[in-house]
Amino acid sequence: NAGVTQTPKFQVLKTGQSMTLQCAQDMNHEYMSWYRQDPGMGLRLIHYSVGAGITDQGEVPNGYNVSRSTTEDFPLRLLSAAPSQTSVYFCASSSSYRTGPSGELFFGEGSRLTVL
Amino acid sequence: RKEVEQDPGPFNVPEGATVAFNCTYSNSASQSFFWYRQDCRKEPKLLMSVYSSGNEDGRFTAQLNRASQYISLLIRDSKLSDSATYLCVVNMGWGTDKLIFGTGTRLQVFP
C-alpha cells in the first residue's frame, strides 16, 4: 500500500529558486497538511487542507504556497527559496472529523531540502 | 509560552526500567491529545491517543490532566527498541483542524 508519497526525497536549491514538493495520498483522506522539522524546533505546521478547494495557514506559512485541487494531491510551493527554508518537510494526511483531524496522521517519508 | 512543551531529554535508562514523560499544553480548549514516536531520520508514527480516562496499551500508559493541562506517557519494562523520540501532539481546540507537535523527548535505552 502506497499511503502518503512525497517527492523528491532530496533537493538542493540555490537562493531565489522556486520549486514544488509533491504529496499524494491514496487513502481518500480529507485532511492533508505540511510540516517542517528543524533541530530543536520540532515539527511545525506550514499549511493544511480539510478538503479539495480548502486550504488554511498553519504556524509558519510565510514563503510557502499550497493548493488542493483534488483529494489526493497537496503540493507545497516554495516561491523564492531562502537558506532559512533548509529543513526536512513532511506531508501528512488523516481522515477528518467535524471538529478536526482524527489524530492519526499518516506521514510521508519526508523531503530533505537544502537551500544554498 | 509555546503551545506544546516537552522536556527534550535525552532520557538514558537501562533495559527494564520504567520511564515517564510529561507534556504541557497552553490552550485549555484543546480536545484531542496523542503521542507519536519518531525513529532517527524517519517519519513520525502514532503511538497512542490519550483519553480523559487514561488508556493503556501493553507497556505504555497515557494519561491526561486537564486541570493542570498536561499529558503523560509511561513506559514500563523498557526495551532497546523503545529508543526513539516521543512527540506530544495536541489539537488546538474545538472548531480548529490544527495539530501542534511538541519538540519531542528523546529516549535512549541501554543494555
Which residue of chain A has the CA closest to B48?
A: A104
Range from A37-41, B52-56, B71-75 that averages highest in pLDDT: B71-75
Q: What DSSP assignment string belongs to B27-92?
A: -TT---EEEEEE-TTS--EEEEEE-TT-EEETTEEEEEETTTTEEEEEE-S--GGG-EEEEEEEE-
**Are B87 and A44 an interchain contact pair (Cβ–Cβ within 8 Å)?**
no
Q: Which residues of A touch B43 (CB under 8 A)?
A: 90, 107-110
**Are B103 and A41 an interchain contact pair (Cβ–Cβ within 8 Å)?**
yes
Hey, of A68, A89, A99, A112, which one would you mutate to test binding to chain B, going by the most B CBs within 10 A of its CB? A99
The C-alpha cell that represents B109 in the structure block: 535505552
What percentage of chain B has pLDDT greater than the value 90? 71
Q: Which residues of A touch B98 (CB under 8 A)?
A: 45, 48, 58-59, 100
Hey, of B7, B31, B43, B45, which one would you mutate to test binding to chain A, going by the most A CBs within 10 A of its CB? B43
pLDDT at B21: 93
pLDDT at A36: 97
Average pLDDT value for residue range B48-70? 92
Segment A70-106, tens digit of pLDDT: 999 999 999 999 999 999 999 999 886 554 566 688 9
CA distance A46 to A69: 18
pLDDT at A101: 60
What percentage of chain A has pLDDT greater than the value 70? 92
What residues are paired with A20 via a beta bridge? A77
